[in-house]
Structure 1
Amino acid sequence: MRRIKTTILYHCVVMGMGLSLYQTSAQANDDPLSVLPPEIAVKKSFSMMPQLRASNLGIRLADNQKAKLNAGHYEWTAKLGLNRRSEQLGASYQEQEFALERPLRWFGKADKDRAIGDKGMDVAKASYADQWHEASRSLMKDWFDAMRESRSLVTLRHQVEIAGQLAAIASKRVKAGDVARLEQISAETELQRVRALLQQAEQREELALQQLQMTYPGLPLPSFNELPVPKNISETDTLSTEHWLHKIMDDNHELELAQAEAAYVALQAARIEQDKMPDPTIGIRSSRERNGQERIMGLSISIPFPGAARQSERLVAITKSQIANEKMLQTQMKVQLMAQKAITDAQRNFSSWQTLDRLSQQSQQQASLMQKAYQLGEVGISETLTARKNASDATLAASSAQIDALAAYARLHLDAHLIWALEEEH
């Protein structure tokens, strides 16, 4: 037993030093963002997504609505009248009347309508940018989900190989008469368990890749040999938290959309407020009476009297503006909270990965030594299988934590618009 402990200690020291050297080299060369699809491929895929094409058409719609507001909704009205005048003495006359009328926007209403049209364009552009960013977030989540399944598949294939080796060792020892048949059954049972996990992982990977192919047309599938080593944002930026928080808040599409919508509704409310004073209708009139013996030219102006409907519409517009302002404040709080969460996730996921990675290395070392000890007949199959299962679980957990750390790092760069940004933002 003392020889086993000495052997284990020796291997732990040697493998630990090797791991430290490997990590130092990897950290110097690897880019955590290298696991993401190329930006040109992402933009090409987004150009084919129906929801983004529809949102882009919203900008064209807003431009048409702007032109409509600039022109105004008032139109010229022509009136034509034919009369026959008859007198008691028997004379009759043909008379004609013509009028041309049009309401006019006054007291700055036309300027307000133009401002509403411009702000409508801002809302449409902010909405498209927000849709783009949400599509980027969805892609990033689906991408790392597929990567997680692929990495689990790689790990489980390795575990199947190791479990097969252990089952072969048990079979040889049974044939040699060193152990009971029960140990071979236990090793083969473990092999079947890992194979079942592998089959489930293959199915999950297939579904995840199908999701990527169907949702993001033309996007290449994840392809990698080794994952890069995650980076700690506090080590890459001396002003870490404050820097990232300002970066995300200063250029956030969701907040910009809420601000644009609040300003848009406020302009509409101000425009309706101006309608307390109704617009006049100006007209010119021309008539011929008594078979043209009398010709009349004149101007007309008419102004409606405002009623309760205008007041109610004004109150509705004011309430809508207040609601939009409250939603903007709510969005501002939400965005700040999400930004802080993204920063915290990047920091904590990195720390979690470091802890789980060390645990995985230690578990793998222990499992390897236990397998060698079992081959030499120094330990039983139960201890060996337990060590191997613990090592497998630790490896899967470390791999998942590594992907979580890479995803959090990438998400931070995405929310700060450092990757996959619209052309207007460069």
Structure 2
Amino acid sequence: MKQTRMAAVLTLAAALAVSAAQAGAAEPVPLLPDPDTAHQVLSETPAVQAALAAREAARARGEALDAGPYEFELDAVGQRRDVRREGDYDEWEAGISRRLRLPGKAALDRELGALGNETAELGIADAFHGAALELLDGWFGWLDAASAVAAATTARDRLAEERAAIDKRLARGDAARIDLDLAESALAGAEAALAEARTTAAESSAALGARYPTLPLPAAPPPIPDPEPPAMDAAALAAQIVARSHEIGIAEARYQQSMKRAQRGERDRRPDPALGIRTLSERGGDETAVGLTFNIPIGGRYRAAEARALAADAGAAGAELDAVRRQIVAGSRAVTARLQGSLAAWQAARRAAEAADTHAARARRGYQLGETDLFSLLAAERTAQGARRAEIAARIAAHRAVARVRVDAHQMWAYHHHGHEEDGAAADEHLHAQ
């Protein structure tokens, strides 16, 4: 009966343990802000707001280009004529005219307006991407500073335990007063390091809160899991970064605009004519007339020079496009190389921290057995604490490198240009689950 009751208790305890583990696994603490929060915060940044305003301006300019620069012009003249030996007469003259775009110019203007809208839309996406990188840097800066506080707190607590143990040994006569002095000195140093870490973390938190007022900051840094490399290899990631680069898209759109402006300038060498209707009344209405008017400027050196300048601008825009493409290719290779290096550095730092912890544990055991002096123990503790802090920093740096590549590849925190962004939502959910 007792065995049955004991088995039931053990079964219930196991079930509760499994349930607790499942509950804990069901609600993982995210390392980064969730996608919805990130998108809201990024949408509120001044850079993105400015880009949104620029889009409205581009749309208005597109409407203006579609309508054309010419409007109806009305002119009127009133006069009083004095004819000798006949008398005075009231006379007037009025007309209305409008300049007309020659065939082909209106189509080019509409294309320029469409390219302007496309450039502005890409400008929003690029501003969103730049804001995402800034948020990423600020977030990981705060995370690193907050993790430094946690590491410094652990180090301080460890030294406080050592100091308390030495104090008890001193009371029993098992330790010298110099050991207590050394422990107190080490503890004071750890408390100073903790105070400095808290100051740095407070500064980072304040700066992040000021730049992103609606961004919620957790009271404590989230757990930092082991970083996982992306599923794609470095070459594929670099290619995706280049393929999805909004900077290249903007440079291409500007190049196309310059080409269209050059075509427009060449067509403007043939001036647009103006057509109108004119009516007049003379000698008090005894004479009236209605006629058509035709006006056209005579093109000269000015129009030819403007056309050459616009053609040269198109050549400069093509060179700028090539420069931007090369810059993005170089940047994509740099961030993927940093990703690989950061992951390798973290793995090495983890091995170093494990070795330092083993050495510190042995030194602690040796001191308890009287085989090692306190100075050696504290030196081993400092080495272990530094190695643990370096491992945490390397782990955070690896996560930062992974997130940076995903942001650059528009797999995370991407502006949904034209309603969607390839793989963006899925990658956001993957990052949120980590």
TM-score, reference length from structure 2: 0.85
Residue 75 (structure 1) aligned with residue 83 (structure 2): no
Amino acid at match of 1:401: A
Residue 285 of structure 1 is matched in structure 2 by 278
- Aligned counterparts of 1:185 and 1:308: Cα–Cα separation in 2: 91
Residue 163 of structure 1 is matched in structure 2 by 159
Amino acid at match of 2:217: L
Structure 1 residue corresponding to 2:190, chosen from 187, 191, 194 = 194
What is the DSSP-based 3-state SS (H/G/I as helix, E as strand, rest coil) of the residue aligned with 1:230?
A: coil
Structure 1 residue corresponding to 2:225, chosen from 216, 228, 244 = 228
| CA shift for structure 1 position 92 | 4.5
Residue 421 of structure 1 is matched in structure 2 by 414
Identify the range of structure 1 (109-118 vs 220-229) with the bigger mean alpha-carbon deviation: 220-229
Structure 2 residue corresponding to 1:129, chosen from 112, 125, 130 = 125
Residue 37 of structure 1 is matched in structure 2 by 33
| CA shift for structure 1 position 354 | 0.6
- Aligned counterparts of 2:404 and 2:29: Cα–Cα separation in 1: 10
- Cα–Cα, structure 1 residues 37 and 335, in superposed 2: closer, same or farther, change >3 Å? same
Residue 426 of structure 2 is matched in structure 1 by none
Contact 2:143 2:221 in 1 (8 A): no
Amino acid at match of 2:224: L
Residue 369 of structure 1 is matched in structure 2 by 362
What is the DSSP-based 3-state SS (H/G/I as helix, E as strand, rest coil) of the residue aligned with 2:227?
A: coil
| Count, aligned residues | 394
Residue 57 of structure 1 is matched in structure 2 by 53
CA deviation profile, 1:189-241 (whole Å, cap 9, x unmatched): 111111111111111111111122221222221455521111133xx34xx12
| CA shift for structure 1 position 269 | 2.7
Residue 238 of structure 2 is matched in structure 1 by 245
Contact 1:77 1:100 in 2 (8 A): yes
- Cα–Cα, structure 1 residues 339 and 86, in superposed 2: closer, same or farther, change >3 Å? same
In the TM superposition, 1:26-425 aligns within 5 A as 34-222=30-218, 224-233=221-230, 236-237=231-232, 240-423=233-416, 424-425=419-420
Amino acid at match of 1:138: E
Residue 14 of structure 1 is matched in structure 2 by none
- Aligned counterparts of 2:26 and 2:361: Cα–Cα separation in 1: 28
| CA shift for structure 1 position 285 | 1.3
| CA shift for structure 1 position 124 | 0.8
| CA shift for structure 1 position 369 | 1.7
- Aligned counterparts of 2:58 and 2:387: Cα–Cα separation in 1: 54
- Cα–Cα, structure 1 residues 248 and 30, in superposed 2: closer, same or farther, change >3 Å? farther
| CA shift for structure 1 position 94 | 3.4
| CA shift for structure 1 position 351 | 0.9
- Aligned counterparts of 2:67 and 2:245: Cα–Cα separation in 1: 33
What is the DSSP-based 3-state SS (H/G/I as helix, E as strand, rest coil) of the residue aligned with 1:291?
A: helix
Identify the range of structure 1 (305-314 vs 37-46) with the bigger mean alpha-carbon deviation: 305-314
Amino acid at match of 1:201: A
- Aligned counterparts of 2:41 and 2:234: Cα–Cα separation in 1: 32
Give aligned-pair identity as a percent: 28
CA deviation profile, 1:328-379 (whole Å, cap 9, x unmatched): 2111111111111121111111111011001101101111221221122111
- Aligned counterparts of 2:127 and 2:374: Cα–Cα separation in 1: 56
| CA shift for structure 1 position 270 | 2.3
- Aligned counterparts of 2:130 and 2:243: Cα–Cα separation in 1: 17
| CA shift for structure 1 position 33 | 10
Give the superposed CA RMSD. 2.2
Amino acid at match of 2:302: A
Contact 2:146 2:221 in 1 (8 A): no
Contact 2:252 2:321 in 1 (8 A): yes
| CA shift for structure 1 position 69 | 1.1
CA deviation profile, 1:95-130 (whole Å, cap 9, x unmatched): 322211111111311111111111110111111110
Residue 11 of structure 1 is matched in structure 2 by none
- Aligned counterparts of 1:357 and 1:167: Cα–Cα separation in 2: 28
| CA shift for structure 1 position 32 | 11
Identify the range of structure 1 (127-136 vs 382-391) with the bigger mean alpha-carbon deviation: 382-391
Residue 18 of structure 1 is matched in structure 2 by none
- Aligned counterparts of 2:172 and 2:372: Cα–Cα separation in 1: 16
- Aligned counterparts of 1:31 and 1:255: Cα–Cα separation in 2: 40
| CA shift for structure 1 position 311 | 3.2
- Cα–Cα, structure 1 residues 48 and 232, in superposed 2: closer, same or farther, change >3 Å? closer
Identify the range of structure 1 (47-56 vs 308-317) with the bigger mean alpha-carbon deviation: 308-317
- Aligned counterparts of 2:29 and 2:406: Cα–Cα separation in 1: 9
| CA shift for structure 1 position 318 | 2.7
